[in-house]
Chain A
Amino acid sequence: MTPILSGFSDILHPMVLLWIIAGVAIGYLVGALPGLGKATAVAIAIPLTFALPALPAIAFLIGIAKGSAAGSAVSAILLNVPGEPSSAPTALDGYPLARQGKAGKALKAALFASVLGDLGATLALVVLAQPIASYALAITPVEICAVLVFSLTFVAGLSAQSLAKGLVAALLGLLAATVGLEIESGLPRLTFGDYRLFDGIPLIPMAIGMLAVAEMILQAGNRAALDQQAATIAKGADPDDSRMTRDDWGRAAPAIARGTAIGIGVGILPGLGASVGSFLSYGLARSRSKEPGRFGNGAIEGVAASESADNAVVPASLIPLFALGIPGSVIAAILIGAFMLHGVTPGPMMFAQQPRLVGGIYAAMMAASLALLLIGLLFQRVFAQVVRVPTRRVVPVVLILCVIGAWVEGGGAFGVQVMLAFAVLGVLFVKLGFSVVNFLIGFVVGRAFELTLRQSIQILERDPANLLAHPIALIFLAMTALAVWRFTRGASRKPEHPEEI
């Protein structure tokens, strides 16, 4: 334990602290700009760290990942353009809050949720990485598949207007997730002969199209309302509108606690990623809420749920990396490359061979959480000025940002085409009362669900009786059955008030 503790003091070196702060600041800026994802930012930054010693280099890269996970909330709230797909649920309630003149409140809620989620997951990493190692290997695709099946039941809770329409939206999302090369045979599915669809529909152009562009289309032509809204946004006379009140904390705290737990869980399970975490957290917060009608209209707890889970995934995905050498996320996979470059092999041996470095990384990650709070508060003052610009002038700029984001993340003009196609779909969804969130949840969960289902069938040797060897999976399947039973019973009893379920 002593070498780990001495590693803690290593971060007090001014150069190390400087790199942590630089990483978080760069990450926050990158996250706030739509189009540059955290994976891209970390990958591009790796060559910058060639000349650095291991600790500042790794602290810098982890700082970027943490910073951009938090920064992506800024554009989601102010512009309705998620900086990363994992912040898409943040926009669902953050943007309505901004339109009500409560941008400051929403930004603070997002930041505090990010910092708390991040800190909670970092502590989980410090405490759990070693003891969890033996349990983590017991998590096979069978368990992950069961968890995903259970998570799909949240969709029912998100279907405030009509259970049937909600399910249809989610199933369409699952269908969209099947586009691309079929995972076993490599045969193209639903690609209509277009090779650009071989890797599936790119998530960022899809999310930007369905959320941001669709929203702008729906608002277009309504200048008077836009101008009035802009006036409300700019005013923000009530100081309570730009800070978290006691009442807000009361709503947000349970959402943050649950979001952090979900983020940690999703981070530990390999192959799910931050988007699954934030969407599930948002879905759970809404299905648990006594007033689900608030969601989508500026519920502070929706912002808190999404952002806490989004940020918690980053440190949590390092748990399997540190404990077992298994990359739990894209970020973790990229970090393996960076670790190896600096002579560190991630995995259980790391604790025995370089305990001091491990201690340093732990301390640096906690310092990064604090840096996140300070940098977030500082940058938000600047970014929040965006709300002073009249909406009419903001919309064209946002559209350009949307196009850039779709272009960069969707492989050129193809990304823009995807964005426009899904903008049209998004408008239709809203007009016809189908849930865009359900569609996106179905899409985000779909690929992992199909893969783990096929893996489970092989692992269970096509015999359901072999499930008995997977008690964790059985528990989740039982919970799924219970949830379905509750929802269908509620739906048949009170068809007019499904939100009371």
Chain B
Amino acid sequence: MSEQDAIDTLDEQRFSRRGLVVKGGLLTAGAAILGGPAAASALGATAATKTRIAVVTHGDTGSFWSVFKKGVDQAVSDLKARGVSATQVYANNDVSKQVAGLNAAIAAKVNVIATSVPDASALQDPLTKAASKGIEIITVNSGLGAFDSLKTYMCHVGQTEDVAGEGAGKQFDAVGAKNLVVLIHEASNSGLTQRAAGAKKTFKGTTKTLLIPNATSDLPGTQQKISAYFKANPKTDAFLALNPDVATAALTAVPKGTKVGTFDLSPGVITAIEGGKILFAIDQQQYLQGYLPVVFAYLFVTNLNTVGNGAPVLTGPGIVNKANAARVAALAKQGTR
């Protein structure tokens, strides 16, 4: 898309902030700050201070990152009157584009840079330079621990895979499942094995993993392999997919009565949750990963607030289940989930 490499200035967008309210109680550390914009009105005296933030990520404009972008847009729109402005770069997995975006942000002398870290070594130079110029650094989505030695490092806003996996394990415990299989759909993706390990940690029954390399590029074959697994392991009563496409494809392959859970949302997953076919989805709530850094930046620049002294702010696991699926579906239509 045309804007993915452009630094676009934000225009005001209007939509409900229910997206944040609905998540109440599911948030971890980040929840505390949600009162930020409202509480900040008490700081009226400092409204004259300009907060300039550059959001530079490796993301594309696909379904995941478009929700992230809406989070940034909404936060800027909410805080515009208080002098907050932002530029955004979506480098579409092109690391040199991301570096260029970071350098542009440094040249523009922004106060805060929020960046994802798909490749720590490639971003080493620009981020070190930014820190030396006194620009605060927030890492978002990916990159926990990569730059916490920088002197202007503020925090990481994202989901840790093992904690998210633990959330999934607890969900299966709650429905009394005994034998869980976790489908790992890419070989050598450490994030996926961390999720599986997290689920194993909290799940009280037996956890096995099933590796189907490149499952997402051969979904019909994946269905056959899943049904072969259930034939070979007939006691299995719970199935955890780590990808929404795998989850919806698995629905016709698992025996009736199997408890199915998944990571991440898709329209198909939300429909299946509403229909009772999928028990839950673990949502990393990337809207927060866009919204919160803007708020943090504002509070730091105007009030020198920091969050957790560098501890990560976890945006997940948010749980979508039958109880909230209909509302999440409505929010997904607005593009905030």
> Real complex partners, A and B?
no
Which residue numbers of B lie inside 8 Å of A, CB to CB? none
